[in-house]
Structure 1
């Protein structure tokens, strides 16, 4: 797993899809859920894996029925067991592929499987913007997560692991975990800021549309283990529209979006946010960083249609978990929720 698949879109797509196919053959409900969630987000991958997914679904469902009928406990993580039982309740053909629509300036999606995602630490109020790495908590060094990495190796001078996002919400969604075994908490340092800044520039020629996002602790980072979120989008995020004032347009964005075109200047701002204990979300693209300071999770109350706003939501994309919310959510309701995050 040494040669990076990130030199071209074709290589990345091949590595991404091949890894899912291998993972589908692994035992356990967690592996199945990850593959089904990623396939439901990509029509091409879904079509190539649909027959295999169907067979594995039936096998896992039979195991669950037999085990529970005998009064025994299901083996594996409780979260995975619960998610799969929900999938059983709606049936294999009842799982919807991700759907999208635009609502004024915003992007909405109905993400069926992601609706079943456990909250982990994103449901916890945060008392600060950092916390020491917890070896007893959830982190990426867990042995069962090793098979969820589809590539690991040296990527432009840093040992990196690319892991699937178990419940994706953007195309080619994966977690970029640098120096995983060093057990670094989710607190950005100058070294990794500079690295990701340069990485975004290096990857663009082979992966046009690539972006790298970061949720600070208390900004809906779901794991306190240093990681970034890599994605490849054919169209810009709503945040990047020319009509917004931060991009030179005439309209104000609901939140204060700061743009930096120098890694050094960006780091000065990030350091100030750290000293001021202000959480933030970042999106790196070639030669540019979008930085959005925001309130900490747990310090405000969202409406029931959302489970919280991280980098994708602050960039203008919103995941809904019910058909009715997807169909009826309007721009006013979205803006009302965004302004709650103003620090």
Structure 2
């Protein structure tokens, strides 16, 4: 599909997004099945259409892997995908919950069952500094088994882009935008990357309302040290964009340190200061503005028991939970305390 078609409207983007998921059901790979299942269980409308096919494939794969393991045959799927599928198999297809959301005092709380099964990768490690060299031997977007998980590849506003599905989405129409994938760029934002992110959301805003980009710096819960931007299309604004907050002209102080920029040049000067001081950060790009969250490095402070760590989504007010008890129990005081404890003072 050409760029002009894919990004010409929200309807076209969603149609291509859904069509790609159906195409993946025809692949034999375990990774594409898990991806299709995770994206379907995130979206009620997609799940309603795909449920029957997903259930049938789940049953078939259960039988296949059971037979392979009983006979001691080697399984060629990635260990990561196999572990996730075995977790799914342990509870059964019928027990997979559809993602739910609720609002509490202006915060968004999400119960995302299947995402709880994902490997934590780099987020489980304490990191040093805000940059590490790209390592082709670590998990990255050039791995051959990941190439079937792309939605689109081509030129987007002057850069060669690989647009992957987020395998375990937590935002609407969630994709991973990987610039110049084969160059093996580390997860370190350059001025070119910053201006490109600003340009993409600003340029697409008219044709795709609600478009945004999230970014986790190395040391700020980036799960892969291969440059990627998290693009999403959200019908309602993230809580951080609410007019009640001081950074948006309101009277209420945001519980985490949040800096808003309406100028790309000024925003880059601030990001450069973070780089010089080796301060990790999360970013949220929205049309014509940027929210920046300087924060403590991962592994240097306790992670809330209900969370796997606060990324750009949580810092922007969208809390992810992985069991129903936490989903129902989480309150605004607990949320605000977690934001404050993660934030750079």
- Preserved contact between residue 141 and residue 180 of structure 1 (Cα < 8 Å): yes
Aligned partners of 1:218 and 1:172: how far apart in 2? 26
Distance in 2 (alpha carbons) for counterparts of 1:207 and 1:154: 18
Which sits farther off after the overlay, 188-197 or 62-71? 62-71
- Residues in 2 aligned to 1:213 and 1:69: alpha-carbon distance in whole angstroms: 44
Match in the other structure for 1:280: 281
Distance across 2 between alignment mates of 1:247 and 1:304: 31
Give deviations 1:154-189, integer Å, cap 9, x for gaps.
111111111000100000000011111111100001
| Cα shift readout 1:179-232 (whole Å, capped 9, x = no counterpart) | 111111000011111111111111011100000111111011111111100001
For 1:81-230, list aligned pairs within 5 A: 81-230=82-231
Paired with 1:286 and 1:119, the residues of 2 have a C-alpha distance of 30
Query: CA separation in 2, counterparts of 1:28 and 1:288?
Result: 40
Q: For 2:269 and 2:123, how far apart are their aligned partners in 1? A: 27
Does the residue aligned with 2:285 lie in a helix, a strand or coil?
strand
**Residue 73 of structure 1: how far off its partner (Å):** 4.5
| Paired residue secondary structure (1:7) | coil
Counterpart of 2:3? 3
Aligned-partner SS, 1:55: helix
Are 1:212 and 1:231, in contact at CA under 8 Å, matched by a contact in 2?
yes
Q: Distance in 1 between matches of 2:3 and 2:303?
A: 43
8 Å contact from structure 2 (residues 293, 343) kept in 1: no
Aligned to 1:298: 299
State how far apart, in whole Å, the 1-side matches of 2:304 and 2:332 are: 14
Cα pair 1:312 1:318 within 8 Å, conserved: yes
| Preserved contact between residue 159 and residue 179 of structure 1 (Cα < 8 Å) | yes
Structure 2 residues not aligned, in runs of 5+: none
Map of 2:22 onto structure 1: 21
Name 1:315's counterpart in structure 2: 316
C-alpha contact (below 8 Å) 1:284/1:290 kept by paired residues: yes
Q: Please tell me whether the aligned partners of residues 2 and 152 of structure 1 are also in contact (alpha carbons under 8 angstroms).
A: no
* 1:320-339 alignment runs, 5 A limit: 320-339=321-340
Secondary structure of the corresponding residue to residue 40 of structure 1: helix
Q: Once superposed, which parts of structure 1, at least 4 consecutive aligned residues long, lie more than 6 Å away?
A: none
Q: State the match for 2:252 in structure 1.
A: 251
Deviation at 1:151, TM superposition (A): 0.5
**Partner Cα distance (1:245, 1:165) in 2:** 32
Find the counterpart in structure 2 of residue 267 from structure 1.
Answer: 268
Is the 2:40–2:46 Cα contact (8 Å) retained in structure 1?
Answer: yes
> 1:5-62 deviations in whole A, cap 9, x for unaligned?
1121111011101111111211122111110000011112112211211111111011
How many matched pairs?
343
Whether the aligned pair in 2 keeps the contact of 1:260 and 1:288 (CA below 8 Å) is yes
Instruction: Give the superposition deviation at 1:76.
Output: 1.4
CA distances 1:68-105 after superposition (whole Å, capped 9, x unpaired): 22344543122211211121222212111000111222
CA distance in 1, matches of 2:343, 2:312: 14
Moved more, 122-131 or 71-80: 71-80
Secondary structure (helix, strand or coil) at the match of 2:7 reads helix
Mapped contact 1:305–1:320 kept (Cα < 8 A): yes
Find the aligned partners of 2:263 and 2:118 in 1 and give their Cα distance: 37
Q: Give the conservation status (yes or no) of the 8 Å contact 1:200–1:284.
A: yes
Unaligned runs of 5+ in 1: none
Q: Which TM-score applies when normalising by structure 1?
A: 0.98
Alpha-carbon distance between aligned partners in 1 of 2:272 and 2:145, rounded to the nearest angstrom: 35
